[in-house]
Amino acid sequence: MVDRKFYSKPWLKNFFLCISSLTFILLIGEWLFPLFLTKIPLKLYGNLDRALLTLVQSSKNYVVPKDYIAILGDSYAAGLGEWLNEGIKTNSLSNPDYGAAHILHNKTKRDVVSFGSGGTGSIEGLVSLPIVQLRTINSHWAFNQDNPKQILAFFFEGNDLEDNLRDLDRFYKPKYDMKKIYETKYFQEFLKTEIIENHSLIRNVTVFNNLSFSSFLGKGLLNLFNEFWTEEDHYEKNWQILKNKEKLYQLDLKKAVHTHPAHLINIATVDNKKWVFNKRNMGASLELSGEEISLGVYVFEQSLEFMRKYFEDSKISIIYIPSTLSSYQLLTLEESGLKKLKGFRSDYNLRLHTIKKRSKFICNKIEEIATKYNFGFLDAGKYIRRVTKKEILHGSVDQDHFNKKGYYVLSDGIIETFFSGDNPAAIRGCIYE
């Protein structure tokens, strides 16, 4: 029997129709959304569920990659730098190429996925990011992603060891015994319990995680609202002003007289020209003691070991990426012409020698790990330094990351070492030319 009271209240009927229509639209969206993830523009990545960030990448033939190469690590693995920044500015409504993942995909025709994220050390970059994201992806009804066929584990000389020590302060020290840190079983249990099982994405998996389109839409509307009402981020604005002031430039000895000596500690020669890199540029963990370096390397090794056991059928290779300062031929006070000026640190030339020596030392330590576990190994520095004799491979403002050319040189080295010969797992030594 028809309820006449319902039809006597038009507003109730309209409300019911509105809710029904909205529900129908959302259901259609949930059904279609997984098919078009790779079409989502770079600008809207922030609206996505964190676990789905690998699926939206356009460096593959399918939304869910097949027989794919996984890149693990920090911001270099993620492809950060001025190439990406330019893509966001000029192609914000598209999903353009950037970073090593896209280059490797285009040149090898294989699916390539990056699990990299800026500011991460080995604990997150090699353990939680790939493992937790894969487990979370596979908790969705719409997806079933296999483990990677091949893994490229990026190690960045510039700050990975510092990040590893920081992560011990964040994750290990609050609950675990530092006296037992070199007990491998104890540390592996820490990685399993604290980093994987206790991860928020693992603990908070519910049926509502499947509503990826609704979540994307909701976050988008919320971000739009916040963007409209939030005041300008003065900290970010001032940071960009500072970075632009420290932009890469050619050395002019006449103007150098009026420049504070602290800003002239990183002079490099490229194509017979003298270039001033900013004083914030990363060296080869120059501030760390020998004990701290050993601990940072140990964390890297244990993270690799945990990842190796989890992805037991994946072929693993380590890519050693030199710091910015280790990528160029740095000039002494005499070679740069600054010797006649006053105020420079007394250990100016010794510091340059230490950068090269420390770079060799850390590279050899990482290569020893690769040899121990029979991993592939590439010291990308030999490719980088070969090209930086004539070209600059880092950003003019963001000097901590490669520019477009830099990512191509890195990727070409990877392809030559692991994808063009009969022995892709070959160990290649550290070479500092």
Residue 284 is predicted with a pLDDT of 78
d(CA 32, CA 63): 12
Residue 395 is predicted with a pLDDT of 94
Name the phi and psi angles at 420, rounded to 5: -125, -5
Residue 122 is predicted with a pLDDT of 97
For 189, the enclosing helix (H) or strand (E) is helix 184-190
Q: Does pLDDT of 361 surpass 60?
A: yes
pLDDT band of 303, cuts 50, 70, 90: very high
pLDDT band of 35, cuts 50, 70, 90: low
More confident residue, 326 or 228: 326
Residue 91 is predicted with a pLDDT of 76
DSSP state of 94: S
For 304, the enclosing helix (H) or strand (E) is helix 290-310
d(CA 276, CA 244): 13
Residue 198 is predicted with a pLDDT of 87
Which tokens sit at 107? 């040149």
pLDDT band of 427, cuts 50, 70, 90: low
Q: Does pLDDT of 260 surpass 80?
A: yes
pLDDT band of 239, cuts 50, 70, 90: low
Which residues, 6 or more positions from 225, have their beta carbon under 8 angstroms from its beta carbon?
Answer: none
d(CA 209, CA 104): 31
pLDDT band of 229, cuts 50, 70, 90: low
pTM, to two decimals: 0.87
Residue 9 is predicted with a pLDDT of 60
Structural domain boundaries in the chain? 20-214+248-418
Burial of 128 (0-12, 13-18, 19+ CB in 10 A): buried
Residue 246 is predicted with a pLDDT of 74
Q: What is the mean pLDDT of residues 81-87?
A: 90
Residue 343 is predicted with a pLDDT of 86
Task: Please give the share of the chain, as a percent, with pLDDT higher than 90.
Answer: 56
CB atoms closer than 10 angstroms to residue 272: 7
Evaluate whether 400 touches 282 at the Cβ level (below 8 Å).
yes
d(CA 127, CA 193): 12
Q: Does pLDDT of 32 surpass 70?
A: no
Q: Does pLDDT of 424 surpass 50?
A: no
CA angle 310, 418, 120 (to 5 degrees): 50
Q: What is the mean pLDDT of residues 127-146?
A: 87
pLDDT band of 259, cuts 50, 70, 90: confident
Sheet with strand 69-72: strands edge to edge:
112-114, 69-72, 150-156, 315-321, 376-379
DSSP state of 147: P
Residue 24 is predicted with a pLDDT of 59
pLDDT in tens, 362-406: 999 999 999 999 999 999 999 999 999 999 999 999 999 999 999
Name the phi and psi angles at 250, rounded to 5: -80, 140
Fold of the 20-214+248-418 domain: Rossmann fold (3.40.50)
CB atoms closer than 10 angstroms to residue 313: 8
Q: Return the SS3 of 154.
A: strand
Q: What is the mean pLDDT of residues 201-224?
A: 58
**Angle 212-229/10-32 helices, nearest 10 degrees?**
110
Evaluate whether 43 touches 93 at the Cβ level (below 8 Å).
yes
Rounded alpha-carbon distances, angstroms, from residue 255 to 156, 252, 322, 345, 390: 34, 5, 31, 19, 24
